[in-house]
């Protein structure tokens, strides 16, 4: 509740103004009924899809240039959720082997950190994520919708 | 209750051809369900063998998790455009 709203309610309590007048004043303070004005944060709805867009100017197949390629993939967030839950079943020995392979390829990512109990937090965090990579020949974009 | 995608829409455009096809995935799921039902006794036997080795829980949970993956495929869309060719795949 803002200071102005408090003052109006105090004026009603002191019978300085009528309820109708108070209503009119309150609607003037908060014309659109926007909750953000009163300090209430409305959380963004959870994303439904992860969009991955890749644009390349050249695609090489059998040593010859096949021209530009545009790839647009819409991945349901539920699939990411289900994937993480499935990954939690991977035995620890397999995790070690995967870590080693990833490190050999220069990817420093520990799959053990992806736990099903953290997935909702991760998905909510994806809401604010947007990755744009503009290379000379490739463009890469990842965002949620 | 979530169900796996029932249809797969594939559209292909190129200079010569332009066609789209709806594949009835639900028929594949029906066949798969019958197959799984037929293999159920074998699975139970494997489960009994696997439990003392610590793989029982893994095997028990694998089925439902894979089913979740199948269900989550609904809405997956892949578009690939290459000069004069275009391929669209959509799970419905």
Question: Chain B residues within 8 A (CB-CB) of chain A?
Answer: 58, 61-62, 65-66, 68-69, 71-83
Positive/negative CA dihedral, B44, B47, B51, B53 = positive
CA distance B60 to chain A (A): 10
CA dist., res. A4 & res. A29, Å (int):
8
Per residue of chain A (145 residues), give pLDDT as tens.
677 788 888 888 888 888 878 877 887 776 554 445 556 666 778 889 999 999 988 776 666 777 788 999 999 999 988 988 888 888 777 888 888 888 888 888 777 777 777 788 888 888 878 888 888 788 999 998 8
Q: What is the rounded CA–CA span in Å between residue A121 and residue A131?
A: 19
Whether B40 is covered by a domain: the verdict is: no
Q: How many residues does chain A have?
A: 145
Q: Could you list the residue range(s) of the whole structural domain that residue B68 is in?
A: 1-18+59-92
What ipTM is given for this predicted complex? 0.83
Per CB-CB distance under 8 Å, the chain A contacts of B58 are 89, 91
In a domain, B86, yes or no: yes
Contact B82 A69 (CB under 8 A): yes
Count, residues in chain B: 92
Does residue A6 belong to the interface with chain B, where contact is any CB pair within 8 Å? Answer: no
Taking only the tens place, the pLDDT of each residue in B12-41 is: 998 888 989 999 999 999 999 999 999 999
- The tally of domains found in chain B comes to 1
Cβ atoms of A75 and A50 closer than 8 Å: yes
């Amino acid at each position: 509740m803002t200071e102005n709203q408090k003052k109006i309610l105090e004026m009603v309590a002191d019978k300085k103004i009528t309820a109708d007048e108070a209503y009119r004043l309150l609607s003037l303070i908060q014309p659109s009924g926007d909750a953000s004005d009163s300090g209430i944060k409305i959380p963004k709805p959870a994303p439904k899809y992860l969009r991955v867009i890749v644009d390349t100017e050249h695609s090489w197949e059998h040593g010859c240039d096949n021209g530009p390629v545009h790839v647009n993939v819409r991945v349901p967030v539920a699939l990411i959720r289900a994937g993480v839950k499935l990954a939690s079943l991977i035995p620890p020995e397999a995790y070690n082997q995967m870590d080693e392979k990833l490190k050999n390829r220069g990817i420093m990512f520990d799959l053990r950190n992806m736990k099903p109990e953290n997935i909702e937090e991760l998905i909510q965090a994806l809401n604010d994520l947007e990755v744009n990579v503009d290379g000379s020949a490739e463009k890469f974009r990842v965002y949620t919708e | 209750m979530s169900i796996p995608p029932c249809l797969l829409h594939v559209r292909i455009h190129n200079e010569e051809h332009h066609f789209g096809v709806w594949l009835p995935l639900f028929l594949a799921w029906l066949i798969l369900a019958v197959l799984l039902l037929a293999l159920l006794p074998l699975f139970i036997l494997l489960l009994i063998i696997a439990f003392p080795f610590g793989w029982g829980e893994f095997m028990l949970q694998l089925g439902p998790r894979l089913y979740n993956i199948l269900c989550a495929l609904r809405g997956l869309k892949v578009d690939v455009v290459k000069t004069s060719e275009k391929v669209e795949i959509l799970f419905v």
